[in-house]
Structure 1
């Protein structure tokens, strides 16, 4: 019940005809790249492509427990699908580790699909991808690997390298931070300092 200006009591039994729209408050979390511990090193991999399939490229960064860069690499892959580019970025990184006689490696990707494919040993994929996955499994037998999934915000360094490579940039090896492209260098410095990136969660919309 409520009282109108005329002093008469009115009823609110009639439902509102206009639906109410509710918005939740946007949430944000901090995502950090975490350093490996003990005798482990970490290899982060990522890819980028303009279309699926489209012009693609891959990046990988290898760092030690002190957050120091051991090497970084960018590769252009030509016309590929997203998943093939992701898998090739991983196998190229592992091949380079083998050539450099490195082992005890945490391989980290922000592709949940690739992570699941590698850790589940699934055969339900295209023959091109299956061939690359088999090569990854073969390399894992000699390199002592552990696989990890990371959110994209914690993988910005290799994401930047992959994006540059997908624009038909030449293949390039980097052995120190100063040689990295400027945007990638900035992300690397933040990772080394332990500073995270902001991850925004999309607000949910509801109608009642």
Structure 2
């Protein structure tokens, strides 16, 4: 039996549509030339439990530029997504990256970024931080993907949940072998990497 998801649009500003989505064909997509893609994901073992996050920045050729994962202790899924966005966007700013496609599978995070306004009372305190980070990046685009298009960062987020260390930041040269294998595997599944 094929898996389809019908998305209903109750809010005209949301990323939902009324079309059917065949999730088995969803793949990671490369950004446009001269752009970078920041994929992010938060993970939580039960809501308000042990959580972590993972983010990765990849260029148009599919080369990993930077990545990070970390444990957050006790937090909600949404808080984990907010923390990973801050960590990923901070990496972009610190390394002078502009023209960023920000992509994740959290609708709360994606819709909050698109409006630059989180409504949730636990998340709205981060609104000024996101405004500052996004203004520092300059040119960016915010996109939603499904879990199937976000496999590498899902793996990183779960590494973060299991990690007892401080935040791990890596580049292509210092990335653990298992992460390089996961990135290659994801890119091989994607037929649009140049």
TM-score after normalising by structure 1:
0.75
1:175 aligns with 2:175: no
State the partner residue of 1:107. Answer: 102
- Number of positions where the alignment pairs a residue of Structure 1 with one of Structure 2: 170
Q: Which of these two proteins has the greater Rg computed from alpha carbons?
A: 1
CA distance in 2, matches of 1:166, 1:181: 19
Name structure 1 gaps, 5 residues minimum. Answer: 1-24, 197-208
Q: Which has the higher contact order (CA 8 A, sep 6+)?
A: 1
- More strand per residue: 1
TM-score after normalising by structure 2:
0.80
State the Cα distance separating 1:55 from its structure 2 match: 1.0
Q: Using a 3 Å threshold, how does the CA distance of structure 1 residues 75 and 115 change in structure 2: closer, same or farther? A: same
CA distance in 1, matches of 2:78, 2:128: 14
State the Cα distance separating 1:50 from its structure 2 match: 1.4
Cα deviations by residue, 1:113-152 (Å, 9 ceiling, x for unpaired):
21112212345211x4112233112211120221111110
CA RMSD of aligned residues (A): 2.0
Query: Equivalent of 1:60, from 45, 55, 62?
Result: 55
Name structure 2 gaps, 5 residues minimum. Answer: 4-21
Q: Using a 3 Å threshold, how does the CA distance of structure 1 residues 132 and 122 change in structure 2: closer, same or farther? A: closer
Residues 46, 158 of structure 1: 8 Å contact kept = yes
State the Cα distance separating 1:177 from its structure 2 match: 7.1
Query: Equivalent of 1:132, from 123, 126, 132?
Result: 126
1:31 aligns with 2:7: no
